[in-house]
């Protein structure tokens, strides 16, 4: 089924067929009607490879994520694809497993495929790679990393906003020993979240106690291990803020394994607000980072770049606290302690 066969059947030239299909030039309505009928009868669909070859574009978008297995990303992909699909675009998805070289390879292959743009929703990229990618002429959109430039945009998430809300929420509940379970420090987004937490405390005149900062892996098991260590501290925390919801879920489980109850004995706050968060036991108080917004923001940024409506820009994105049931008033004392009672709780969080 080629355009030539349609042309023959409609008794016109292939140029005319092309013109009527794309409405890209004058065609007599009567002729057009004949062409459409031929197309219908033959069930003709243009060969996208040919179109791609001649036009240099493919009506495909690339989407690179760190870990498709983390529920955050499927929800993001879902939204991204929806937007793309409605524009008649297909999406080439790749999950890199936090592997920088794989990211480079993925993007390279996508570019070879002449994708019209690629969204790189991983934040473990090193600068040299982002620069290298930016130098290609393909519209790009990064998440948090990435220097805005010609055709390259960046979604800038305001982690501080939601984290401040979380910290204030916890402090209002009389929590003074608030721990933090971060993500892998190799991850830019994880560092940003941790730093936002640290800064937030500092702004409020308290210093984070190093004992109360743990590093997880942004997965459930990491959260479980981290909370276990935290609860074994001489002065365990009364509340914990996790770098993402998976980590928080691990913390929930670890707390229960330690024989403690959430939120009576320990308050837990997550980050992301994945769908699952409302169904944990207890439902998770968490900072919402709206995937659907992230998805449409990034996808639309790409489309704007593609249409040449924009040179590349920075898109701010807010976060805010969703209070559910995993946080409550701090208990007087988490576990009976043999330790001295002379410590100054107020200043070590």
Q: Which residues bind DNA (CB under 7 A)?
A: 1-4, 11-16, 18-19, 21-22, 24-28, 30-32, 44, 46-47, 50-51, 53-56
User: Of 14, 21, 42, 92, which one interacts with a second copy (CB under 8 A)?
Assistant: 92
Residues 278-337 that bind a second copy (CB under 8 A): 279, 281
Q: In what order do the strands lie in the sheet with 178-182?
A: 213-215, 178-182, 239-242, 267-272, 285-288, 320-322
As a whole number of angstroms, the distance between CA 189 and CA 246 comes to 15
**Cβ-Cβ contacts under 8 Å for 3 (sequence gap 6 or more):** 14, 17, 18, 44, 46
As a whole number of angstroms, the distance between CA 271 and CA 132 comes to 31
Q: Which is nearer to a second copy, 73 or 303 (CB)?
A: 73
Q: How far is the CB of 147 from a second copy (least distance, A)?
A: 22
Q: Does 75 bind a second copy (CB under 8 A)?
A: yes
As a whole number of angstroms, the distance between CA 236 and CA 331 comes to 12
**Cβ-Cβ contacts under 8 Å for 336 (sequence gap 6 or more):** none
User: Of 16, 18, 58, 130, which one interacts with a second copy (CB under 8 A)?
Assistant: 58
Q: Which is nearer to a second copy, 74 or 184 (CB)?
A: 74
Binding-site size for a second copy (CB under 8 A) equals 44
Beta strands in 14-150, from DSSP E residues, in sequence order: 60-65, 90-95, 117-121, 140-143
Q: Which is nearer to DNA, 1 or 313 (CB)?
A: 1
Residue burial 67-103, b: 16+ Cβ < 10 Å; e: rest: bbebbbbbbbbebbbebbeeeebebbbbbbebeeeeb
Q: Which is nearer to a second copy, 169 or 324 (CB)?
A: 324
Q: How far is the CB of 143 from DNA (least distance, A)?
A: 31
Q: Does 228 bind a second copy (CB under 8 A)?
A: no
Angle at 172 between CA 168 and CA 177, to 5 degrees: 80
Q: Does 252 bind a second copy (CB under 8 A)?
A: yes
Residue 176, Cβ density class (10 Å: 0-12 exposed, 13-18 middle, ≥19 buried)? middle
Using CB distances below 5 to 8 A depending on partner kind, what does residue 95 bind out of a second copy, DNA, none? a second copy
Q: How far is the CB of 43 from DNA (least distance, A)?
A: 12
Using CB distances below 5 to 8 A depending on partner kind, what does residue 338 bind out of DNA, a second copy, none? none
**Interface segment toward a second copy; rule CB under 8 A; list 8-16, 111-119, 120-128, 150-158:** 111-119
Peptide bond connecting 282 to the previous residue in cis, omega within 30 degrees of 0: yes
As a whole number of angstroms, the distance between CA 182 and CA 270 comes to 11
Q: Does 133 bind a second copy (CB under 8 A)?
A: no
Question: Which parts of this chain interact with a second copy (CB under 8 A)?
Answer: 45-50, 52-53, 58, 60, 68-69, 71, 73-75, 77-78, 81, 85, 90-95, 108-110, 112-114, 220-221, 224, 249-250, 252-253, 256, 275-276, 279, 281
């Amino acid at each position: 089924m080629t355009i030539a066969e349609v042309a023959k059947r409609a008794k016109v030239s292939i140029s005319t067929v092309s013109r009527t299909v794309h409405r890209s030039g004058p065609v007599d309505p009567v002729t057009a009607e004949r062409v459409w009928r031929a197309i219908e009868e033959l069930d003709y669909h243009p060969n996208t490879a040919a179109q791609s070859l001649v036009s240099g574009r493919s009506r495909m978008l690339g989407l690179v994520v760190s870990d498709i297995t983390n529920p955050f990303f499927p929800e993001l992909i879902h939204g991204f694809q929806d937007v793309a699909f409605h524009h008649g675009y297909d999406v080439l998805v790749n999950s890199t497993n936090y592997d920088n070289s794989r990211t480079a390879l993925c993007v390279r292959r996508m570019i070879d495929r002449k994708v019209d743009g690629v969204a790189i929703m991983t934040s473990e990229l090193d600068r040299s790679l982002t620069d290298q990618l930016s130098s290609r002429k393909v519209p790009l959109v990064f998440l948090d990393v990435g220097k805005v430039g010609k055709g390259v945009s960046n979604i800038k998430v305001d982690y501080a906003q939601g984290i401040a809300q979380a910290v204030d929420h916890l402090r209002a509940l009389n929590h003074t020993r608030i721990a933090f379970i971060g993500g892998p420090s190799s991850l830019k987004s994880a560092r940003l979240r941790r730093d936002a937490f640290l800064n937030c405390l500092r702004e409020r005149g308290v210093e984070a106690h190093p004992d109360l900062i743990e590093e997880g892996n942004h997965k459930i098991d990491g959260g479980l291990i981290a909370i276990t260590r935290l609860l074994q501290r001489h002065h365990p925390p009364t509340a914990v803020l996790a770098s993402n919801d998976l980590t928080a879920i691990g913390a929930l489980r670890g707390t229960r394994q330690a024989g403690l109850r959430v939120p009576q004995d320990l308050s837990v706050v997550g980050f992301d607000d994945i769908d699952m968060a409302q169904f944990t036991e207890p439902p998770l108080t968490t900072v919402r980072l709206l995937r659907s917004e992230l998805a449409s923001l990034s996808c639309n940024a790409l489309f704007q770049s593609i249409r040449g409506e924009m040179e590349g820009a920075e898109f701010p994105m807010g976060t805010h606290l969703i209070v559910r049931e995993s946080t409550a008033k701090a208990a007087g004392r988490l576990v009976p302690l043999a330790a001295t009672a002379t410590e100054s709780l107020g200043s070590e969080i």
